[in-house]
Chains A and B, each alone.
Chain A
């Protein structure tokens, strides 16, 4: 494969660049590709890896490329292939795939420094794409390491054929990054974040687990297997008892015999509510769920107060947002688990909550009529149906058999096995058939307490469905038929909170694994809330705490300006000339820096020793340092005592000194220079 360098090589300099430069750039590129593995097309990473390996073997040479036509075809084919990925990987994934393809193709024709810089830039963009797409905490160290590699690669390319050891490169780039950290923090805190995050990329085609906006047998089942967090709740004050931890999301009204659906365009007045008992103050962090429903503890008193989150009530006490939730949101609420409606159910609402397809589930309808006939009131009918469910030999199972078209008949008379959604559906249908207005509520039940983060974590696996029935005089009453059929299953679901509520005995059984997991979750939650979720509202509250709340934009601008100035001043102060070098110019400072690097471990230059003589002396005791140091000393002498050199020469010398490091000698620890 190895071919000789072409005679017309535009920048022959890099062909002589040390292998570590090429190694660093390739490592940085492959790292960036790896970070995008999850959303680029499957064939992208192997393509990049293949080209990189080939290039690593032939980096000195100018590779023989296929002809122009073939190259053009290659570009077109691969670009189309990458763009075809648009549907499976989303727009960002497709763009990342395209970047990987371009970087790989560019890599195959790199010859000069400019080409390598382009490859590095592509890697930088890939890192950005990965950051945009995935912000989980565990990826943070990977991103930092990748950024570090990229900076090292840039340093190496900048130093050209004089690139120092990879170790020195990484130390230098690490220091640069560390110096830039305060600026990053400043910009993070005070750069105005426009509400609605214009940089947020819509995640098309990506599946987000969460409650659906309809309920049919099997729809919650998928969720039960998912341990993804659905929401986190931080309480300000007491926690509600486990039996009250019903997290309300959607209310479903229309039933076609198989599936329950939402009532989209119902603009009714809700029956007035009366709250009593304990009020719970809490803050919810809701993961993106593609729905436009906010989740609240049954039942919130009012809408969230946050101005950045536009929400509205529906007649059935759903809290909806105008747009689907594509990012996680935060909001404060106050809920009263004890509440009752005052007044009667308006007739149009009674009508939609009594609606039932007459043709479907005939046997169930018959059963409902029988039970209703033997009950004296609606409340007695509810008890009778619950009794029927309790005594009918029904089983709670996460893997129920499939149900036919008349799903409720099938469930009640044939399979007798089901899950919360099955029983809620059956119960609501029986209620409606018996003339009691009923509706399905979906949401979550329970939650596990994280004692490190002091919050309640509700997972997707806690998804639940229950019913509400209208009883005259009481209003909407929550009835959870699953609790009747399988009280044990519900206790289990509520068990997540047990460690806190069950006292010391349960805490003792909590293994260190649980502890670790909870700590990790808490850190993650903090990361999601405070870092990834840091938005304009957070900025405003920060300004408030700083006492600058009144003038939002101006305060941000001032803080940013003052912070950046302070940062620059600190940098300048850290780089101030010290001691004898007080009045020294930049060249002398660089030389002193070089001397300082040698001082501790190698040798000290006598005041009367010329730079070249010094380098020669060091070269005699430490031959491995000789060539590098001699070249630096020569360049210094040329700049110091020679005719005026171009400024770029000085800059290159100063950079070379910054990057140069005496590698500690392994063998003898002596101090030959002393």
Chain B
């Protein structure tokens, strides 16, 4: 557990004034989930993904999503090799430990679904052959709010595959001033040391799953999920409930607790649930995060 502290410190040196979001990102990774960062351009989405990869010692690739991106550009393509007279699979950028899928909502639904399938299965099937993705495998997708021009909104079924959605938002004035004074982020990134190794990340992921969960806490998670299903036409899925549990376990690990507490669930709930609970036709006007916040206040914790 103490291994996480220097990692957090290293990330926070680069991402200023966002300790909560930094911890959520790390928790998402430890919970074996994929992360969606939703923000306007220029607030540090890419930097966050970059620094995460660097501090965790992961091999990483950046893939800029555009409207003309094809699935083969993501997973790879089979090419006929004249010398061997065989098709040979050339691995795409998805074969990495940390994939930064930049501006995922700019790509066509076809390209999006190719990535999301890989995310879920943690493997790629091309022409009947299945290729395992490396471990750990972690997608950090960034997305501009869909009001912007030229974007395709991710469908619900695909949003569900992201464990968390995190918004960085604008920095507070003090942090922004430091950003202005510190100059190039890229230089700072290059100075950042690697704190963990992929093997350590894997062992931390295993450790996360071993954090104790009491019956009372499962009651709580079930109560939260049931409440979403009662109030919305489409509530949280069982996968979301499981994700909530894992995220809470990761949060407990980061906060050096050996058991999940209601506070941990509450801390990750908005990040896990909000993007799955965005209003649809017939639902109220409240945004997903507003709804998630109100829900946390409405469901009593089991004493």
- Interface residues, chain A, CB within 8 Å of chain B? 584, 588, 591-592, 606-613, 637-638, 640-643
A641 touches B303 (CB 8 A): no
List 28 A-B residue pairs with CB atoms under 8 Å apart, sorted by A's residue number.
Answer: A591-B303, A592-B303, A606-B297, A608-B266, A608-B297, A608-B298, A608-B299, A608-B301, A610-B261, A610-B262, A610-B266, A610-B301, A611-B261, A611-B262, A612-B261, A613-B263, A613-B266, A637-B261, A638-B259, A640-B214, A641-B214, A641-B259, A641-B260, A642-B214, A642-B258, A643-B212, A643-B258, A643-B259
Q: In whole angstroms, what is the CA distance A194 to B217 when docked?
A: 60
Q: Specify which chain B residues have a CB less than 8 angstroms from the CB of A591 in the assembled complex.
A: 303
- Nearest-neighbour CB distance to chain B for A645, whole angstroms, equals 10
- Nearest-neighbour CB distance to chain B for A634, whole angstroms, equals 9
B300 touches A608 (CB 8 A): yes
Q: In whole angstroms, what is the CA distance A608 to B299 when docked?
A: 6
Q: Specify which chain B residues have a CB less than 8 angstroms from the CB of A643 in the assembled complex.
A: 212, 258-259
Which one, A584, A592, A609, A642, contacts B301 given CB within 8 A?
Answer: A609
- Nearest-neighbour CB distance to chain A for B14, whole angstroms, equals 28
A641 touches B262 (CB 8 A): yes
Interface string of B268-303 (1 = CB under 8 A from A): 000000000000000000000000000011111101
- Nearest-neighbour CB distance to chain A for B256, whole angstroms, equals 12
- Nearest-neighbour CB distance to chain B for A297, whole angstroms, equals 73
Question: Apart from A607-B301, A608-B266, A610-B263, what 5 extra A-B contacts exist at CB < 8 Å?
Answer: A606-B297, A609-B301, A613-B263, A641-B262, A642-B258
Which one, B216, B298, B300, contacts A641 given CB within 8 A?
Answer: B216
- Nearest-neighbour CB distance to chain A for B70, whole angstroms, equals 47
Q: Specify which chain B residues have a CB less than 8 angstroms from the CB of A609 in the assembled complex.
A: 301
Q: In whole angstroms, what is the CA distance A43 to B3 when docked?
A: 64
Which of A591, A609, A610 neighbours the largest number of chain B CB atoms within 10 Å of its CB?
Answer: A610
- Nearest-neighbour CB distance to chain B for A590, whole angstroms, equals 10
Q: In whole angstroms, what is the CA distance A33 to B276 when docked?
A: 73
The closest CB in chain A to the CB of B215 belongs to A641
Interface size on B, residues (CB 8 A): 18
Q: In whole angstroms, what is the CA distance A613 to B261 when docked?
A: 10
Q: Specify which chain A residues have a CB less than 8 angstroms from the CB of B263 in the assembled complex.
A: 610, 612-613
Given A641-B259, A642-B258, A643-B259, A588–B300 Cβ distance below 8 Å? no
Secondary structure type dominating chain B contacts: mixed
Q: Specify which chain A residues have a CB less than 8 angstroms from the CB of B297 in the assembled complex.
A: 606, 608
Q: In whole angstroms, what is the CA distance A588 to B216 when docked?
A: 12
B303 touches A642 (CB 8 A): no
B296 touches A588 (CB 8 A): no
Q: In whole angstroms, what is the CA distance A612 to B259 when docked?
A: 13
Which of A584, A588, A642 neighbours the largest number of chain B CB atoms within 10 Å of its CB?
Answer: A642
- Nearest-neighbour CB distance to chain B for A587, whole angstroms, equals 9
- Nearest-neighbour CB distance to chain A for B82, whole angstroms, equals 62
Q: In whole angstroms, what is the CA distance A643 to B260 when docked?
A: 10
Q: Specify which chain B residues have a CB less than 8 angstroms from the CB of A640 in the assembled complex.
A: 214, 216, 303
Which one, B212, B262, B266, B298, contacts A642 given CB within 8 A?
Answer: B212
Interface string of B191-217 (1 = CB under 8 A from A): 000000000000000000000101011
Contact residues, B214-228 vs A (CB, 8 A): 214, 216-217
B262 touches A588 (CB 8 A): no
Q: Specify which chain B residues have a CB less than 8 angstroms from the CB of A608 in the assembled complex.
A: 266, 296-301
Q: In whole angstroms, what is the CA distance A584 to B303 when docked?
A: 8
Q: Specify which chain A residues have a CB less than 8 angstroms from the CB of B260 in the assembled complex.
A: 641
- Nearest-neighbour CB distance to chain B for A100, whole angstroms, equals 50
Q: Specify which chain B residues have a CB less than 8 angstroms from the CB of A613 in the assembled complex.
A: 263, 266
Q: In whole angstroms, what is the CA distance A588 to B214 when docked?
A: 15
A588 touches B303 (CB 8 A): yes
9 closest A-B pairs by beta carbon, nearest first, are A607-B300, A610-B263, A642-B259, A610-B262, A641-B214, A643-B212, A641-B259, A588-B303, A637-B261
- Nearest-neighbour CB distance to chain B for A642, whole angstroms, equals 4
The closest CB in chain B to the CB of A637 belongs to B261
The closest CB in chain B to the CB of A638 belongs to B259
Which of B259, B296, B298, B301 neighbours the largest number of chain A CB atoms within 10 Å of its CB?
Answer: B301
Which of B296, B298, B300 neighbours the largest number of chain A CB atoms within 10 Å of its CB?
Answer: B300
Q: In whole angstroms, what is the CA distance A591 to B262 when docked?
A: 15
Q: Specify which chain B residues have a CB less than 8 angstroms from the CB of A592 in the assembled complex.
A: 303
B217 touches A641 (CB 8 A): yes
Q: In whole angstroms, what is the CA distance A608 to B300 when docked?
A: 4
The closest CB in chain A to the CB of B266 belongs to A610
Q: In whole angstroms, what is the CA distance A584 to B300 when docked?
A: 15
Q: Specify which chain B residues have a CB less than 8 angstroms from the CB of A610 in the assembled complex.
A: 261-263, 266, 301
Q: Specify which chain B residues have a CB less than 8 angstroms from the CB of A607 in the assembled complex.
A: 300-301
The closest CB in chain A to the CB of B252 belongs to A641
Q: Specify which chain A residues have a CB less than 8 angstroms from the CB of B298 in the assembled complex.
A: 608
- Nearest-neighbour CB distance to chain A for B270, whole angstroms, equals 13
Q: In whole angstroms, what is the CA distance A210 to B263 when docked?
A: 78
Interface string of B228-267 (1 = CB under 8 A from A): 0000000000000000000000000000001111110010
- Nearest-neighbour CB distance to chain B for A268, whole angstroms, equals 87
The closest CB in chain B to the CB of A643 belongs to B212
The closest CB in chain B to the CB of A607 belongs to B300
Q: Specify which chain B residues have a CB less than 8 angstroms from the CB of A588 in the assembled complex.
A: 303
- Nearest-neighbour CB distance to chain A for B291, whole angstroms, equals 15
- Nearest-neighbour CB distance to chain A for B235, whole angstroms, equals 18
- Nearest-neighbour CB distance to chain B for A650, whole angstroms, equals 14
- Nearest-neighbour CB distance to chain A for B22, whole angstroms, equals 20
Q: Specify which chain B residues have a CB less than 8 angstroms from the CB of A637 in the assembled complex.
A: 259, 261
- Nearest-neighbour CB distance to chain B for A664, whole angstroms, equals 26
The closest CB in chain A to the CB of B212 belongs to A643
Q: In whole angstroms, what is the CA distance A337 to B262 when docked?
A: 89
Q: Specify which chain A residues have a CB less than 8 angstroms from the CB of B212 in the assembled complex.
A: 641-643
Q: In whole angstroms, what is the CA distance A672 to B55 when docked?
A: 43
The closest CB in chain B to the CB of A580 belongs to B303
Q: In whole angstroms, what is the CA distance A607 to B303 when docked?
A: 9
B261 touches A641 (CB 8 A): yes
Q: In whole angstroms, what is the CA distance A643 to B217 when docked?
A: 12
- Nearest-neighbour CB distance to chain B for A548, whole angstroms, equals 49
Q: In whole angstroms, what is the CA distance A142 to B169 when docked?
A: 69
Q: In whole angstroms, what is the CA distance A10 to B16 when docked?
A: 50
The closest CB in chain B to the CB of A612 belongs to B263
The closest CB in chain B to the CB of A587 belongs to B303
Q: In whole angstroms, what is the CA distance A640 to B303 when docked?
A: 8
Which of B214, B296, B299 neighbours the largest number of chain A CB atoms within 10 Å of its CB?
Answer: B214
Q: Specify which chain A residues have a CB less than 8 angstroms from the CB of B259 in the assembled complex.
A: 637-638, 641-643
Which of B214, B296, B298, B303 neighbours the largest number of chain A CB atoms within 10 Å of its CB?
Answer: B303
The closest CB in chain B to the CB of A642 belongs to B259
Q: In whole angstroms, what is the CA distance A591 to B214 when docked?
A: 17
Q: In whole angstroms, what is the CA distance A374 to B147 when docked?
A: 147
Which of A608, A609, A611 neighbours the largest number of chain B CB atoms within 10 Å of its CB?
Answer: A608
Q: Specify which chain B residues have a CB less than 8 angstroms from the CB of A638 in the assembled complex.
A: 259
- Nearest-neighbour CB distance to chain B for A79, whole angstroms, equals 54
Q: In whole angstroms, what is the CA distance A591 to B301 when docked?
A: 13
- Nearest-neighbour CB distance to chain A for B122, whole angstroms, equals 31
Q: Specify which chain A residues have a CB less than 8 angstroms from the CB of B217 in the assembled complex.
A: 641
Q: In whole angstroms, what is the CA distance A638 to B217 when docked?
A: 12
Which of A607, A613, A637, A641 neighbours the largest number of chain B CB atoms within 10 Å of its CB?
Answer: A641
